[in-house]
Each structure stands twice: as structure tokens, then as C-alpha cells.
Chain A
């Protein structure tokens, strides 16, 4: 019980163990496939082909991945500060409002490259605002942020349904959605990018937001590991007492971090609204906020892990659509199961296989166990 974790080489800690967890998650998912009477290997084959089989499919995969990069980064930034932002879903949903207001106001007067930065700001601002309230309540009133952000997801859903049904819907329309944007609020597609790589794309929703997501991933890396603010966030995340000692304001950390997190989640709204559908529909977030949790856990809260994790989930979404077509028994809800299993094994059970891996390492080569544990403080 009280044996401290022995040390593993860094690559095992950051590479091997997450992979083991992921493999187990997929094995369990395979069992579900068996349960519905299909062959898991066939299913996996169709899925991979559906996700990466053609330029078209890759474009779709990256389109979905874009959403998850944003929401994964949002969750990760909060994790670094010791906060669990489970409200990415609501923050992204509300942020749609910011995007829509900018697009509806300027799509007739501005070119897309001017609407784009305005929409980014508006999306980030609305997402940040929706995160600000739970953050403030945690910082100043001690309300548990996990609970308040869950509550705010539901409140956001109610607010948005009300707005779409009663306010934003154009007169005379039946569908609860905004009017279509004009060209000034439509983001360019990234067809050229894939075609430059020799892939052929007919039409796919992959758009400029993907590059924005990559830029954000890089900026988050800079923020966390290269800025004073990121240093302060990590200090607070590891030890609130040490942060106090270092003169770092607790409430400032909570509020600033949550606003950054909410802003990142908010930018997710750009991708479907401005990049693809060119209007806002009900429930356009479609669970991406929650996928962000799985992505952040799988990517170990590091942007360089989050991007591949997001692409993996993008592949699951795209490949899952193909799979549902080929094997009607396996609808896209399969992805939700896999997502849950990844969260379970990469998150809640992340240490389950650790002792086994350690034993393995110790038996292969005792010296690869890293620095010998330094003498403790005595017992």
C-alpha cells in the first residue's frame, strides 16, 4: 500500500503507459463489437479506411479533429491549474452566440478575413464569459467548479434553445437556426492544403479553423511552459500553498485560467458555424466539449499529445460514420463508448497497469529505473 511509485523512464511514463491504457480501452470496445455480433477486426479495418482511406476522408477526419483540439486544449489548460473544467460543452455552445452576432452583423459589409479575427475574439470572449461565472464562484465563494460547470452546461443549453427558437430564428422559418451567412462570414476551405500533398478532395468541411486550432495548440504550449503566467498556473495546480508563498494570487489564477480555458472551448464554435454550416443550429457542439476531456487525458494535457489524440478522435468520428454505413449495427454511438472507455482507462484507471509495467521494467533491466530514489526524510 505505502510503497511509493518506483520511477520509470520518461518515455515509458509519457508514451508506453498511455498506449497500454488506450489499447485496453479499444480491446474493451472490441468486446462490445463482438456483443452486437460483428467482427472487431473487420470493424477496425473499415474504421481506419473510413478515416484515412482517401483525401476526402482525411479532410473529414481533420474537420472533426479541429473541434477536439480546441476542447482538448481547454480541458488541459484547466488541468494544469488543478481545475476540472467539465463545462467546455456549454462554453462552446454559448460562444456560438458570439460567432453568430459577428457574422450576422458583418457578413454583408466585411470580407471573411476581417470577420474571421472578429469572430475569434467574439467566440473566445463569450466562452470565457461563460467560464468566468463558475470561476468567480470557485475563487470567491468556494463553490465546487466541477458541479457549477456541469450546471452551466445545462443552463447554456436552455439559453441557446430559447434564443434559437424564439429570438434568432428568422421570421417565417420553421427550423430553429439562424439565417445563412453571406460570403463575408464563410471561412475558406483547406482543400488546397491536402491537394498539395497529392490527395484528392471533392468537397469537405475542413476549413481555416483547423490551422487556427494548430496555432492555438502551439500558443498553449508556449503559455504553459514558456510564460510567467503558465509557470504560475502550474505552481498553483501542483500546490496552492506554494503558490500563496510565491505571491501568486489564488483567485487570479482560477479566474484567468478558467477564462483561457473557456475561450479555447469557445473557439470550437468557429469550426462548424463559420467553417462548415454557415449558420448556427441547435446543439452544434454535439458533445465535442466532453470529447475534450478524453482528448486531454489521452494527450496527458500536453498540446503535442492533444493534437494526435484529437486526430484519433476525429478519425473515430469520421471512420465511425463509414462504419455505421457498412455495419448498421454499429452506429456512431460506438464512438461515445470508446470515448467513455478512453476516459476510464486513460483517466480514472491511469495507474492500473503501472505496477505491472514497473515490474516488467525492473525484471528486464534494474538500471533503467531512472535515478535511484533519493533518501527520504526518514520515517
Chain B
């Protein structure tokens, strides 16, 4: 049973590290499906993490922390919208800018407010999202295999983990079963069709970047208020970019996005777990190699060697009414 224990632990770790990826990836999906490229996922997530931890530390409420995280990330989403929708600026440039502004200001503000070298005060009790034990988890613990999987793998996560995974079917449903989703997909493919159908391209795209803000905010709050007990500087550490890679890997679709994030999360969890371990035949695999794997895989995918990732057709192009 030692093997199963180890496997469950590894998968459990996979879930935990996948959650911020998944939330950020779905966040990017709303924006990019609407035709707004967003490489500022990283920055929004980081802002969410900082704002969330700060508010939770000050108020002692994880929920207020979450709300603040969402507000901060939505604000940045609106900045991105203001630049790229209203002023038709370059979406890549705008995303890069947001990442830098956040990277710098979280540290400066954190230091000025809390004076702990860029950290926020450690969170405990109601200021943090604690693990939830699902009903029956304890009772089932002794049941072989299933009990272990249920009590260890499925139960025992914070509420935000369940939110993240529920967002997958919800996003699918919104995208393919609602009027909003239809219009969102349409505006990312052919904004002129949406415009002539009497729908505001601008407002539709703004709603998309707001949703992106909400989800990156939750992702950030998860990092600092659930997974960890506070904010440390640069705590997203490239997760926003991995989420972007996962989004491409998933070809901008919600369910594949979940699997891509789980795969990348698994690589991350495994690289920590097996650090320094010698494998049969291949020997020791440097941890850096595994860290780079999501990026390498995405490049290979982009090169069209394993299927073809075709982005939304109007992506990255500001909408200008044609004469």
C-alpha cells in the first residue's frame, strides 16, 4: 500500500499546485476567447495574492481577502481593457506593462504597509481558507483504495479548490449554452459580425476582461490565503505564464484546459517529490529540466508537431469599424 499512499500524495499535491494554474487558465480563456490576448495573467494573479493577503491580514477575514483580491485583479483587467479596447493599444504591450507594475508595487506597498521585507503578516484561523473535510471522509478512511482516495485526494481541500474545479463545467456551460457565451465566442472570431448584429463589441469585451479579473483574483487569493498563509514577494513565480501555456495547450477549450493544468501541475509536483532521485536507465533528471517541460511542450505544440493550436481569429487585433 506504500505505493498507493505515495501516489495519492503525489496526486494530492498535483491538485493543490494545479488550482492556481486552472483558475488563471480559465481566466485567460474568457479574455482570449473574446479576442483580447492577455499575458498579464501573472500580474493580475500576483496583485490578487497581495491584495487578498493584505486584506485578510488587516480584517482577519479570508472572505474579505478574497473579495479584495478579486477587486484588485478586476481593476487591472479594466486597465488592460482601457488600453486595448478603448484605446486600441497593443495587447501584448499592455499585458507586459501590468505585470511589471504589479511586480514592483506589491513589494513596495507590502514593505511600506507591513514592514516584513515584502511579506504580509502570517494568516491563521478565519483569516485563511482552511481545508474542508467532506462528509463521510473520516468514516470511509479505512475502506481500501476508495477510502484513501476519497479522504485524502478528494476531501481535505480548501473551498477555493472546489470552486476552481467547478469553474470548469461552469465555463463550458457559459461558453456553449448561454447567449453570453455565444456572443463571447463570436466577438473573438469576427467582431464585425457582432457589431452589425447590434451588439456592443466594447461592452462584450469589457465583460470578458472583468471575468478574467475575477478568476485571476480568486487564483491569487488561493495562493496567499488558502495554499499559503500570507503573501511573499513574486509568489506567482511564472504561474501566469504556465497558465497561458496551458491555455494554448488546451486550444482555448475549458475541459482540455483542466487536463493541461493538471498535467503541468503534476510535472511541478513530481519535480519536487522526485528531486535528486535517480531513475533506472535515464539516471538523475535535473529538476530544471522538469520545470522547463511545460514550456517545451507548449513550444512543440505551437510548432504544430502535435496537433495545431489555432487561436481565436480576431485575437490581438483591436476592433476598428471599417469604412
Indicate, yes or no, whether A interacts with B: yes
B209 shortest CB reach to chain A, Å: 13
Question: Which residues 282-323 of B have a CB within 8 angstroms of A?
Answer: 286, 288-289, 291-292, 295-296, 298-299, 302-304, 311, 320-321, 323
Indicate if A6 sits at the interface (CB-CB under 8 A): no
Do A340 and B101 touch (CB < 8 A)?
yes
Do A331 and B292 touch (CB < 8 A)?
no
One digit per residue, 1 when the CB lies within 8 angstroms of any chain A CB and 0 when it does not, for chain B 38-49 equals 010000000000
B70 shortest CB reach to chain A, Å: 21
B10 shortest CB reach to chain A, Å: 21
Indicate if A177 sits at the interface (CB-CB under 8 A): no
Do B108 and A333 touch (CB < 8 A)?
yes
Instruction: Kindly list chain A residues whose C-beta atoms are within 8 Å of the C-beta of B298.
Output: 147, 151
Task: Pick from A35, A144, A337: contact of B302, CB below 8 A.
Answer: A144
Instruction: Kindly list chain A residues whose C-beta atoms are within 8 Å of the C-beta of B67.
Output: none
Question: Which residues 51-67 of B have a CB within 8 angstroms of A?
Answer: none
Cα A335 to Cα B100 with chains together (Å): 9
Instruction: Kindly list chain B residues whose C-beta atoms are within 8 Å of the C-beta of A161.
Output: 288
- Least CB separation from B84: chain A residue: A348
Question: Which residues 98-112 of B have a CB within 8 angstroms of A?
Answer: 98-105, 107-109, 111-112
Do A158 and B291 touch (CB < 8 A)?
yes
Indicate if B193 sits at the interface (CB-CB under 8 A): no
- Least CB separation from B90: chain A residue: A348
Cα A127 to Cα B88 with chains together (Å): 32
Indicate if B248 sits at the interface (CB-CB under 8 A): yes
Task: Pick from A36, A166, A297: contact of B109, CB below 8 A.
Answer: A36
Do A147 and B103 touch (CB < 8 A)?
no
Do B97 and A37 touch (CB < 8 A)?
no
Question: Which residues 269-297 of A have a CB within 8 angstroms of B?
Answer: 290, 293, 297
Indicate if B245 sits at the interface (CB-CB under 8 A): yes
Stretch of A116-124, A184-192, A246-254, A349-357 contacting B (4+ beta carbons < 8 Å): A349-357
Instruction: Kindly list chain B residues whose C-beta atoms are within 8 Å of the C-beta of A290.
Output: 96, 100
One digit per residue, 1 when the CB lies within 8 angstroms of any chain A CB and 0 when it does not, for chain B 230-247 equals 000000001001001100
A158 shortest CB reach to chain B, Å: 4
Instruction: Kindly list chain A residues whose C-beta atoms are within 8 Å of the C-beta of B245.
Output: 147, 151
Indicate if B94 sits at the interface (CB-CB under 8 A): yes
* Dominant secondary structure at the A interface: helix
Indicate if B87 sits at the interface (CB-CB under 8 A): yes
Do A35 and B112 touch (CB < 8 A)?
yes
Do A331 and B90 touch (CB < 8 A)?
no
Do B303 and A137 touch (CB < 8 A)?
yes
Indicate if A202 sits at the interface (CB-CB under 8 A): no
Instruction: Kindly list chain B residues whose C-beta atoms are within 8 Å of the C-beta of A379.
Output: 323
Do A36 and B321 touch (CB < 8 A)?
no
Cα A379 to Cα B83 with chains together (Å): 29
Instruction: Kindly list chain A residues whose C-beta atoms are within 8 Å of the C-beta of B84.
Output: 348
Do B292 and A330 touch (CB < 8 A)?
no
Cα A257 to Cα B62 with chains together (Å): 50
Cα A154 to Cα B240 with chains together (Å): 12
Of A133, A151, A338, chain B has the most CB atoms within 10 Å of the CB of A151
Do A348 and B104 touch (CB < 8 A)?
no
Chain B: number of interface residues, binned into ranges: 35 or more
Instruction: Kindly list chain B residues whose C-beta atoms are within 8 Å of the C-beta of A347.
Output: 89-90, 93-94, 96-97
Do A297 and B111 touch (CB < 8 A)?
no
Indicate if A32 sits at the interface (CB-CB under 8 A): yes
A43 shortest CB reach to chain B, Å: 12
Indicate if B92 sits at the interface (CB-CB under 8 A): yes
A376 shortest CB reach to chain B, Å: 9
Task: Pick from B105, B111, B295, B320: contact of A154, CB below 8 A.
Answer: B295
One digit per residue, 1 when the CB lies within 8 angstroms of any chain A CB and 0 when it does not, for chain B 243-274 equals 01100100000000000000000000000000
Cα A143 to Cα B89 with chains together (Å): 22
Cα A155 to Cα B290 with chains together (Å): 10
Q: A330-B108, A343-B100 are in contact. Are A152 and B299 (CB under 8 A)?
A: yes
Do A162 and B289 touch (CB < 8 A)?
yes
Indicate if A236 sits at the interface (CB-CB under 8 A): no
Indicate if A148 sits at the interface (CB-CB under 8 A): yes
Instruction: Kindly list chain B residues whose C-beta atoms are within 8 Å of the C-beta of A141.
Output: 302-304
Indicate if A84 sits at the interface (CB-CB under 8 A): yes
Task: Pick from A146, A152, A348: contact of B97, CB below 8 A.
Answer: A348
Cα A157 to Cα B104 with chains together (Å): 21
Indicate if A369 sits at the interface (CB-CB under 8 A): no
Q: Identify the 9 closest CB pairs spanning chains A and B, nearest first.
A: A340-B100, A336-B104, A340-B101, A337-B104, A348-B94, A348-B89, A36-B112, A344-B97, A158-B292
Additional A-B contacts beyond A155-B299, A343-B93 (17; CB < 8 A): A2-B321, A86-B96, A133-B299, A151-B296, A152-B299, A154-B292, A162-B289, A333-B108, A335-B104, A336-B103, A337-B101, A339-B104, A340-B98, A343-B97, A347-B90, A348-B87, A379-B323
A residues at B contact (CB < 8 Å): 1-2, 32, 35-37, 84, 86, 133-134, 137, 141-144, 146-148, 150-152, 154-155, 158-159, 161-162, 166, 290, 293, 297, 328-331, 333-341, 343-344, 347-352, 379
* 23 pairs from A and B in contact (CB 8 Å cutoff): A134-B299, A137-B302, A151-B298, A155-B292, A158-B291, A162-B289, A290-B96, A290-B100, A329-B111, A331-B107, A334-B104, A334-B108, A336-B100, A337-B101, A338-B104, A340-B98, A340-B101, A344-B94, A344-B101, A347-B90, A348-B94, A349-B94, A350-B89
B residues at A contact (CB < 8 Å): 39, 79, 82-84, 87-94, 96-105, 107-109, 111-112, 238, 241, 244-245, 248, 286, 288-289, 291-292, 295-296, 298-299, 302-304, 311, 320-321, 323
